[in-house]
Amino acid sequence: MPKRVHRRRNRAADYLVYCCLRTITAIARSLHPDTSYKAARFLGDIFYALSSRHRHRSIEHLRRSFPDWPESKCRYVARRSMHNMMYLGVEFMFTPRLVTIDRWRKHVKLVGMEDALELLLKKEKGLIFLTGHYGNWEIVGYTMAVLGFPITAIARKLDNPYLNRYIMEIREKRGLSILDKKGAADRIPQILCEKESVGFIADQDAGKKGLFVDFFGRKASTYKSIALLAIIHEVPIIVGYGTRLGDGFNFEIGVERYIYPDEWKNKKDPRMYITCEYTKAMENLVRKTPSQYLWVHRRWKHRPDGSKAQPDGIA
């Protein structure tokens, strides 16, 4: 098998992209958040209109996930999903300013978090927090860190070193720790043994060697490692969410599902049980507000027979 060739990055181009982002961030922060949200919706409409590949993928994913929907609803939700995708950029810029220890209550509503907070306070064992490409998945970990409950989130390092450093600084400003996905396997068990919390985006395609479970009636490749970590360390899994409330900087943060060790101990296949349960919990979340899911995400990229889906990611 030929070796993958890694192209040398153009540092000047990387730095130019970084400078552009800093300039856009500075301009956006000088505006009222509502103005930035309007701009994001406009950009979402442009992206929906011009990117036929992403538009087609989103609509087709919606057609297959909601077969009883009329075509007009699939197109409307796909367009709204692209608005929400653009909102992530606005929220990334404003989160450090608006989610602080004295202001978070104006923008964030906690729902059904009592058991999760109790587990965090007791620290009797580690915890695994899961969420998906739904709503604003970063607001959950950031808010928990502001409240004094830091979580180590697993994320892929950006290729652009300037952007990566800048974005990591913002993410970690209030105590949220980011662990590079590459090489995280050695550190995660240690974190759980220290009775700390680890966070994953759990709806990633895991390739042909993943565990295939139902997601909206189709088999989706899912990482085995999350369930294995929970089983080995006997730690609870918490499926959380950060749902947008309207089109402004307001969120509901809550828990959709708790999966405790006692639940899977007597199951014939605990790994499959856990993976199916948290995947079903994420599907339930998406069904509540479908427009807040990232339908351009290639969730069904691989098939159970080992083949890949179409180039646009539609299985």
Q: How confident is the model at residue 166 (pLDDT cuts 50, 70, 90)?
A: confident
pLDDT score recorded for residue 309: 63
How does 106-116 read in b/e, with b if 16+ C-beta sit within 10 Å?
ebbebeebeeb
- pLDDT of 53 strictly over 90: yes
Q: How confident is the model at residue 2 (pLDDT cuts 50, 70, 90)?
A: very low
Over residues 157-181, mean pLDDT: 78
User: What is the DSSP secondary-structure string of 64-87?
Assistant: HH-TTS-HHHHHHHHHHHHHHHHH
- pLDDT of 5 strictly over 60: no
Radius of gyration of the chain, Cα coordinates, nearest whole angstrom:
20
Q: How confident is the model at residue 13 (pLDDT cuts 50, 70, 90)?
A: confident
Residues 6+ apart with CB under 8 A from 77: 62, 290, 291, 295
Least confident segment among 70-84, 150-164, 188-202:
150-164
- pLDDT of 172 strictly over 80: no
Tell me: the pLDDT tens digits for 248-268? 899 999 999 999 999 999 999
pLDDT score recorded for residue 185: 81
**Token digits of residue 50:** 């011009």
**Token digits of residue 173:** 């400003």
Q: How confident is the model at residue 7 (pLDDT cuts 50, 70, 90)?
A: low
pLDDT score recorded for residue 1: 43
Q: What percent of the chain has pLDDT over 90?
A: 65
Query: In degrees to the nearest 10, what's the CA dihedral of 134, 286, 251, 86?
Result: 40
pLDDT score recorded for residue 150: 80
Tell me: the pLDDT tens digits for 108-122? 999 989 999 999 998
Q: How confident is the model at residue 26 (pLDDT cuts 50, 70, 90)?
A: confident
pLDDT score recorded for residue 308: 66
**Token digits of residue 162:** 């300037």
- The upper half-sphere exposure of residue 224, i.e. CA atoms within 13 Å in the direction of its Cβ, equals 10
Q: How confident is the model at residue 127 (pLDDT cuts 50, 70, 90)?
A: very high
- pLDDT of 300 strictly over 80: yes
Mean pLDDT of the chain: 89
Tell me: the pLDDT tens digits for 181-212? 777 888 999 999 999 999 999 999 999 999 99
Tell me: the pLDDT tens digits for 221-257? 999 999 999 999 999 999 999 999 988 899 999 999 9
Q: How confident is the model at residue 314 (pLDDT cuts 50, 70, 90)?
A: low
Over residues 76-93, mean pLDDT: 94
Over residues 81-107, mean pLDDT: 92
Length of the chain measured in residues:
315
Answer with the residue of higher pLDDT: 292 or 25: 292
Q: Tell me if the pTM is above 0.95.
A: no
